[in-house]
Amino acid sequence: MKNEKLLLLIKAPYYDDYGPMKKAAGTYFPLGLGYISSYLKERGYDAALIDPDVQSVSKEQIAERVAADNPALVGISFMTPQFHTAKDICKAIRKSAPGVQIALGGAHPSALPEETLSEIPEADFAVVLEGEETSLELMKFLETGAPALKDIRGLVWRDRENIVVNEARAPVADLDSLPFPDRALIDQSLYRVQSFFSYSKNTATIYTSRGCPGKCVFCCSGHRLRAPVRERGMESIMAEIEHIRSAYGADYLMIKDDTFTFRKTRVYEFCDAIEKNHPGLKWHCMGRANTVDFPLLKRMKEAGLNDIFFGIESGNAEIIKRAKKGITPEQSRNAVEACRNLGIRTYGAFILGLPGETRETAEETIRFACSLPLTMAGFSILIPYPGTTVYEEHFDKGCGPADYSSFVASSGIHYTRAYTGMNGLTPEELPALMARAQRRFYLRPAQIARMLRSAGPRMISGYFRGFFSLVAKERYRRRSHKAASG
């Protein structure tokens, strides 16, 4: 008998998306699915979660679970690198439970809803962008027949042989009206944050805002999936922190906002609130070099900031300008040096292969990264993800369906397709430059000493296992390319 009140949520697994760097990667509770669950439960429905990344279940086992639970709706969330695993899960579910309704959500279906339903014929719906209200109305339709499918904003659905795109749904305006994410969906001890961020095994993640003000050409939040910044009130944030500390013993907080430092006055307000309500709690956030200064960082440090992530992207001012990042190399240097002087650990992210990139500008970025007193750095290859400006302007769509399984920074992509006209680098140069950047940055005696001083053993062992695996993979790639070419 069908459980008309149950939404079974599935987070498509990453599997090897991080490639050889998976040893340094972490697993995170899917807060977005947690919000959908609590929103539905507050209104009389039920939800369950399958997360293969921490539960180690196969697609066949997922399908068996669906058949056994017989939910009203299965919701599968995924980003572009998980496209093929999501598709395989849909196929397995359709074979095991042919009558179940399947909805797709997450970044990839939100960016390409019509294409996604066309390419995954086993799915019935796509939920675009924020899913709380759309999921609720879809569950009501499946239970009672109302509201009509055509009236559910934010939904894309099948009408016989046609795919219908409904009116867009506005983002949730009042974030404080949402219940806290349903962390009881799954054992929280299964999750392990990225080893760089924390010495603690009891780390919790939280959103204090939604949306991003940026217009970066490489990020879907800056283009197709862009939403206005909406902020939660301090009372709500402090109450959620109290809940996760008392219920789950969290002693380290990872703030997942796209840009936590977007508005300085709010950051000062947060520092005052967390110092008053949760003194001694250590935390991490993502910042932007053009929104922080020494006084702000000093106050953040006093209030428990342990480490901060900066998207530096490039050491070349013109490349950054073309990427519409809105920062300068000088601002990045000032921010990182201020953090060093204050004892705040820093992680700098760099992208190789941005529009206009040449070997010279890439080498400039590597030199710039090595000149900064960063605790750690990450180098990736630009991937033209659907929903980004680079995808729409540069991705060669004339070569048939994209092989989304290769849309992973560690694997390289089919650059002859993806990078047509974007930069002056060959398909062989970009992976080699990424491996070179890792070697140049991490094998310096000064950098090794810096990491030993400021990093925990889990961070060092995890990242260096991944690093040496990356180097080995690059050597294998070069040998394979040489053998194939003659």
**CATH code of residue 154:** 3.40.50.280
User: Which of 91-95, 202-206, 428-432 is least confident?
Assistant: 428-432
Q: What is the pLDDT of residues 89-102, one digit of tens each?
A: 999 999 999 999 99
* Local structure of 381: helix, strand or coil: strand
What is the number of residues in the chain? 486
Instruction: Please give the helix or strand (H or E) that residue 8 lies within, else none.
Output: strand 3-11
From 87, 23, 163, select the one nearest 404 (Cα to Cα): 87
Same domain, 13 and 133: yes
In a domain, 178, yes or no: no
Mean of the per-residue pLDDT values of the chain? 89
Tell me the pTM. 0.92
Contact indicator for 17, 408 with CB cutoff of 8 Å: yes
Q: How many H-runs (helices) and E-runs (strands) does the chain carry? A: 18, 15
Concatenate the DSSP letters of all residues of 236-250 into one string. HHHHHHHHHHHHH--
Tell me the range of 70-74, 190-194, 224-228 where mean pLDDT is highest.
70-74
- Report CA 317 to chain centroid distance, whole Å: 26
> How many domains, the chain?
2
Q: What is the pLDDT of residues 304-323, one digit of tens each?
A: 999 999 999 999 999 999 99
How far is CA 356 from each of CA 314, 317, 321, 420, 421, rounded to the nearest angstrom? 12, 12, 10, 11, 9
Same domain, 332 and 435: yes
| Position 19 pLDDT exceeds 60 | no
Q: What is the pLDDT of residues 366-408, one digit of tens each?
A: 999 999 999 999 998 888 889 999 888 877 565 545 677 667 6
DSSP H helical ranges for 145-293:
234-248, 264-277
Same domain, 202 and 142: no
In a domain, 299, yes or no: yes
Domain of residue 472 covers 193-483
Give the pLDDT confidence score for residue 20 in this predicted structure. 47
In a domain, 137, yes or no: yes
Spatial neighbors of 464 by CB under 8 A, at least 6 apart, are: 442
Q: What is the pLDDT of residues 441-470, one digit of tens each?
A: 999 998 888 877 776 555 666 566 555 555
Same domain, 83 and 209: no
| Position 474 pLDDT exceeds 90 | no
